[in-house]
Structure 1
Amino acid sequence: MDTFWDWFGLMIWWFFLVMYLVILFQIIGDLFRDRHLSGWWKAVWLLALVVVPFLTALIYLVARGRGMAERHAERLAGARADTEAYIRGVSGASAASQISDAKALLDAGTIDEREFAALKAKALA
């Protein structure tokens, strides 16, 4: 590497290599997560990825890209629903019980009307 442009060209090649590896691992992960694709088709896709990797990756993204995106979106929605259910289960208090606790604090004089409104808005959010 004698010049800046040699170094810059090397960095471009490294970028494309890393991007290819990211795409390759996304494809392999999608293949193993797809429940509708038979094991034989998975084996064919993996064999093609080994023999002709760039062409196979391009064909996979064109042929199955939409399904790949849909499966990814479903997986994210499921993870979000599981996280929200876990948070609701761990918090242990419903919005009504939080508001009644805040009302009890207001009646006892511990908090004022402004703090009660803030706690009520937080519980309803």
Structure 2
Amino acid sequence: MVFAFIAEFIGDGKFDGWFRALGLLFLFIVPFLTVWRCVVGRGRGMAEGQDAQLQRSWNGAVSHIRYITAEEYAILKSKALAWQLGN
């Protein structure tokens, strides 16, 4: 949970550098209270941020997947069968 808090806190563009430094300082002084405060205060925002990151990752993965056409499949299949019969 602490690592998720650090990743969320540093990666969030809503906070300036001094606030991030102060939050990390409190994290090392009173870790449980700081994480509890973050979950209570920003729990919904953290979940929405994770959902947005997951959606961006999914869209990126889907855009890299190339679907083959029926003609390409037929060519690949005939080459594979020809190779198999040759060996």
Which residue of 81, 88, 98 corresponds with 2:59? 81
Identity across aligned pairs (percent)? Answer: 34
Report the secondary structure of 1:36's partner residue. Answer: coil
Give the TM-score normalised by structure 1.
Answer: 0.54
RMSD of Structure 2 on Structure 1 (CA): 1.8
1:66 aligns with 2:44: yes
Match of 1:38 in 2: 16
> Any gaps of 5 or more consecutive residues in structure 2?
79-87
Q: Aligned equivalents of 2:23 and 2:49: distance in 1?
A: 18
The code of the aligned residue for 2:17 comes to G
1:27-51 deviation per Cα after TM superposition (whole angstroms, max 9, x unaligned): 0011111112111111111011011
Q: Aligned equivalents of 1:80 and 1:37: distance in 2?
A: 27
Q: Aligned equivalents of 2:19 and 2:45: distance in 1?
A: 15
The code of the aligned residue for 1:25 comes to F
1:86-123 deviation per Cα after TM superposition (whole angstroms, max 9, x unaligned): 113xx4x4xxxx24x28xx6xxxx9xxxxxxxxxxxxx
Q: Aligned equivalents of 2:49 and 2:38: distance in 1?
A: 14
Match of 1:55 in 2: 33
Q: Considering only CA atoms, is the larger Rg found in Structure 1 or Structure 2?
A: 1
Report the secondary structure of 1:40's partner residue. Answer: helix
1:12-31 deviation per Cα after TM superposition (whole angstroms, max 9, x unaligned): xxxxxxxxxxx000000111
Q: 4+ residue runs of structure 1 moved beyond 4 angstroms?
A: none
Give the TM-score normalised by structure 2.
Answer: 0.75
1:82 is displaced (CA, Å) by 0.3
Q: How many residues align?
A: 74
Report the secondary structure of 2:65's partner residue. Answer: helix
